[in-house]
Amino acid sequence: MKDLAGKTAVVTGAASGIGLGIATALAQAGVKVMMCDIEEGALAKAVEGLRQTNADVEGVRADVSLKSELQAAADAAVARYGKIHILVNNAGVTGGGGYGVWTDASWNWTIGVNLMAVIWGVEIFGPLMESHGEGGQIVNTASIAGLISGNGGPYNVTKYGVVALSEGLRVELAPRGIGVSVLCPGFIRTQIIDSTRNLPERFSGVTPASPASGDPVEALKAIRERIAGGIDPLYVGELVREGVENDWAYIFTDNEFEPFIEARFAGIRQGFDQIRGREPRR
Ligand SMILES: NC(=O)c1ccc[n+]([C@@H]2O[C@H](COP(=O)([O-])OP(=O)(O)OC[C@H]3O[C@@H](n4cnc5c(N)ncnc54)[C@H](O)[C@@H]3O)[C@@H](O)[C@H]2O)c1
């Protein structure tokens, strides 16, 4: 989608962090943006801040882990802007730790926000994008944790799901004029580590995100520090804008984790090597 000026985007999780960075970068290119978020105060502030730069933006409050609220946000976007060209399924939470501290609440919350909302976003906005025939782009925010997994916690599982969904949809939707990109950020300077600030009441009982091994308190402190010193969310937004303009399949933010992904590929290759030359029994 080369000419972004005048197009319309819906960005979820747009009140802060990466979502706000994406909304800002798109607005700077002349895109009209419907900003969707669960956090009402932060959303109002974000909308107001962007309007002061003469951006054409609107805010809609929705808990994207409820399909009816996401549908209502889509209705509001259509009522305000008409045609929708870009969908950024970005809202996400770090809910729950790995083996030993699982709870149903952690799984349900994380799957609801990080995965089901992305699926519903495609289901709701895909036909809207197809209907105007001007083409569209879907960007789904996964994570580097969608390509390498350090534990069996809900976060990584949902992010792998978002990568799988995006890779598959990219093939399915291309003939319909819709490009699909998956954003896989490394450490970005946001409030992600304090995700429980937006925990809906119905998911009470989530366990804190915890790492695979070692002292969980120290490890969490280390992750918090990496995020505090992480990449500027607006820089990520600018990369996403470039990804939309050029229909990038994968949008990475940096090369820090590339060797770890190479190591995963090597492990997969080893699995194939172990059975190479055998004749499977049928
Ligand atoms: N920060 C990082 O280092 C990092 C790395 C990889 C991936 N990500 C992903 O980036 C995305 C954005 O996260 P962030 O880092 O900007 O964190 P953030 O907490 O700063 O922003 C997330 C936004 O999503 C909103 N949100 C949370 N639950 C919601 C719900 N149920 N309905 C609607 N909105 C909801 C929050 O209010 C917030 O504005 C997430 O999908 C996250 O998993 C972040």
Which atom of ligand 1 is closest in space to residue 69's alpha carbon?
Answer: 32
CA atoms within a 13 Å half-sphere pointing along the CA-CB vector of 280? 5
Per-residue pLDDT of the chain (282 residues; tens, 9 = 90+): 999 999 999 999 999 999 999 999 999 999 999 999 999 999 999 999 999 999 999 999 999 999 999 999 999 999 999 999 999 999 999 988 888 888 999 999 999 999 999 999 999 999 999 999 999 999 999 999 999 998 889 999 999 999 999 999 999 999 999 999 999 999 999 999 999 999 999 998 888 776 656 677 788 888 999 999 999 999 999 999 999 999 999 999 999 999 999 999 999 999 999 999 999 999
Q: Is residue 15 lining ligand 1, measured as CB closer than 6 Å? A: yes
Say how many Å lie between the CA of residue 179 and the centre of ligand 1. 22
Whether residue 270 is contained in a domain is answered as: no
Element (H, E) at 157: helix 154-173
Whether residue 273 is contained in a domain is answered as: no
Whether residue 233 is contained in a domain is answered as: yes
Question: Which CATH number belongs to the domain containing residue 18 in this structure?
Answer: 3.40.50.720
What is the spatial distance between Cα 167 and Cα 185, in angstroms, rounded to a whole number? 16
Whether residue 160 is contained in a domain is answered as: yes
- Identify the pLDDT of residue 211: 61
Q: How many domains does the chain have?
A: 1
Beta strands in the chain (DSSP E): 8-12, 32-37, 57-61, 86-89, 136-141, 178-184, 250-252
Whether residue 103 is contained in a domain is answered as: yes
Q: With beta carbons less than 8 A apart as the criterion, state whether 17 and 233 touch.
A: yes
Whether residue 275 is contained in a domain is answered as: no
| Residue 140: C-alpha distances to residues 19, 56, 103 (Å) | 11, 23, 26
- Identify the pLDDT of residue 214: 67
Catalytic site residue 99?
no
Q: Is residue 141 lining ligand 1, measured as CB closer than 6 Å? A: yes
Q: Is residue 253 lining ligand 1, measured as CB closer than 6 Å? A: no
Whether residue 238 is contained in a domain is answered as: yes
Length of the chain: 282
- Identify the pLDDT of residue 137: 98
**Nearest-CA residue for atom 38 of ligand 1:** 13
Q: Is residue 156 lining ligand 1, measured as CB closer than 6 Å? A: no
Whether residue 178 is contained in a domain is answered as: yes
Q: Which domain holds residue 57?
A: 8-257
The sheet with strand 8-12 has its strands ordered as 57-61, 32-37, 8-12, 86-89, 136-141, 178-184, 250-252
Which atom of ligand 1 is closest in space to residue 65's alpha carbon?
Answer: 31
Ligand 1 pocket test: pick from 148, 188, 253 the residue with the most ligand atoms within 8 Å of its Cβ.
Answer: 188
Say how many Å lie between the CA of residue 17 and the centre of ligand 1. 7
